[in-house]
């Protein structure tokens, strides 16, 4: 399975939301990260065939998805950022309804629904009305509907929003387990969700794909640039004005900070191994150094 984007562009009223993206995805987990307004949701909606590109094309194994039409939709599972629910449906009834839209027969759907409710730990809420479910439960139900047709291409927009840490770990493990035979693309602001499971990370900024690499390859870019700094609290304005600052903690009259800097920053500084969160700050931070 190969999903190819070639010069994909989408404009809204003269504004470019996605700008000339060309890349290729094969089975595995891909993390799509970028600041708000970067074009992540627009890109995912085009991949889900909800929006059409203004220019360029998307193909599966060399065949344009416009020609595949229904055959392409049979291949995909999609969880939008805002998943519309009928609040008076029960969790089971909603999945039955979605299964019928996806062309599953009743016997096949009932078996699949039971499996998925167990996978997302909603068995006990099977007959509860959706309007009574918590935000995290609704998100898990949305994940279940995306997996109903056992898709070969899984598109997930902020899938872990509203999930507690334990649920996020469980979900990451589920994605890692099923990704061997399918393409999984997920966008998230929770960098730890993809740090250990992503085959590649796609960095999107102002609608443009600025980087598509394996996490370990991207992390090499920050080797020798991440520091643990201990300095007087009075030095904080200087550090904040010159460098990208991640974690910050006050200890009496001193501060301890995780700082991204090309050169050794002032204070007591020691090098640290970079993390994927540092990459996010490096590319999308708002310090003078990162803007340069």
Helix (H, G, I), strand (E, B) or coil at 170: helix
Report which of 53, 48, 67, 66 is spatially closest to residue 17, judged by C-alpha positions: 53
Q: Where are the alpha helices (DSSP H) in the chain?
A: 40-47, 65-68, 70-73, 91-101, 106-119, 135-146, 165-178, 192-195, 215-220, 236-242, 276-284, 288-291
The answer to whether 52 and 8 are in contact (CB under 8 A) is: no
pLDDT in tens, the chain (292 residues): 999 999 999 998 889 999 999 999 999 999 999 998 899 999 999 999 999 999 999 999 999 999 999 999 999 999 998 887 888 999 999 999 999 999 899 999 999 999 999 989 999 999 999 999 998 899 899 999 999 999 999 999 988 887 888 888 888 888 888 888 899 999 988 888 888 889 999 999 999 999 999 999 999 999 999 999 999 999 889 888 899 998 899 988 999 999 999 999 988 999 999 999 999 999 887 543 333 3
Residue closest to 91 by CA, chosen among 39, 143, 24, 55: 143
Count CB neighbours of 291 within 10 A. 7
Q: Number of helices and strands (H, E) in the chain?
A: 12, 14
Residue 287 confidence (pLDDT): 40
Residues sharing a CB contact under 8 Å with residue 109, sequence separation 6 or more, in sequence order: 95, 96, 99, 100, 148
What pLDDT does 87 receive?
87
CATH architecture of structural domain 3-219: 3-Layer(aba) Sandwich (3.40)
Answer left, alpha or beta for residue 205, where phi above 0 means left and psi between -120 and 50 means alpha: beta
Give dist(CA 251, CA 258) in Å, integer: 14
- What's the pTM value of the predicted model, to 2 decimals? 0.87
HSE-CB of 89 using CA atoms within 13 angstroms: 13
9 Cβ contact partners less than 8 Å away, ≥ 6 residues apart: 16, 18, 19, 20, 21, 53, 54, 55, 56
Q: Structural domain boundaries of the chain? A: 3-219, 221-291
Q: What is the DSSP string of 31-74?
A: EEE--TTSSHHHHHHHHTTSS--SEEEEEETTEEHHHHTHHHHT
User: Whats the size of the chain, residue-wise?
Assistant: 292
Contact indicator for 10, 46 with CB cutoff of 8 Å: yes
Q: Which residues contact 260 (CB under 8 A, 6 or more apart)?
A: 222, 225, 226, 227, 243, 244, 245, 246, 278, 281, 282, 285, 289, 290
């Amino acid at each position: 399975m190969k999903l190819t984007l070639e010069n994909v562009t989408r404009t809204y009223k003269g504004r470019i939301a996605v700008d000339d993206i060309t890349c290729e995805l094969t089975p595995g987990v891909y993390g799509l990260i970028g600041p708000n307004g970067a074009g992540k949701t627009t890109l995912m909606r085009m991949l889900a065939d909800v929006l059409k590109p203004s220019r360029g094309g998307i193909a599966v194994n060399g065949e344009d998805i416009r020609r595949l039409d229904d055959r392409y939709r049979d291949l995909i599972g999609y969880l939008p950022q805002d998943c519309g629910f009928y609040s008076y449906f029960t969790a089971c009834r909603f999945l039955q309804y979605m299964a019928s839209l996806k062309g599953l027969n009743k016997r096949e759907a009932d078996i699949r629904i039971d499996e998925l409710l167990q996978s997302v730990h909603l068995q006990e809420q099977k007959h509860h009305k959706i309007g009574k479910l918590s935000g995290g439960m609704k998100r898990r139900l949305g994940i279940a509907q995306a997996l109903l047709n056992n898709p070969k291409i899984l598109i997930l927009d902020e899938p872990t929003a509203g999930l507690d840490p334990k649920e996020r770990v469980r979900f990451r493990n589920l994605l890692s387990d099923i990704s061997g035979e399918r393409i999984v693309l997920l966008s998230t602001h929770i960098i730890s969700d993809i740090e250990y499971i992503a085959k590649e990370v796609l960095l999107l900024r102002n609608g443009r794909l600025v980087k598509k690499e394996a996490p370990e390859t991207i992390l090499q870019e920050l080797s020798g640039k991440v520091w643990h700094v201990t300095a007087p609290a009075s030095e904080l304005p200087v550090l904040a004005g010159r460098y990208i600052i991640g974690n910050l903690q006050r200890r009496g009259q001193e501060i301890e900070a995780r700082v991204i800097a090309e050169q050794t920053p002032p204070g007591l500084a020691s090098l640290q191994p970079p993390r994927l969160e540092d990459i996010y700050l490096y590319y999308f931070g708002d310090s003078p150094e990162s803007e340069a």
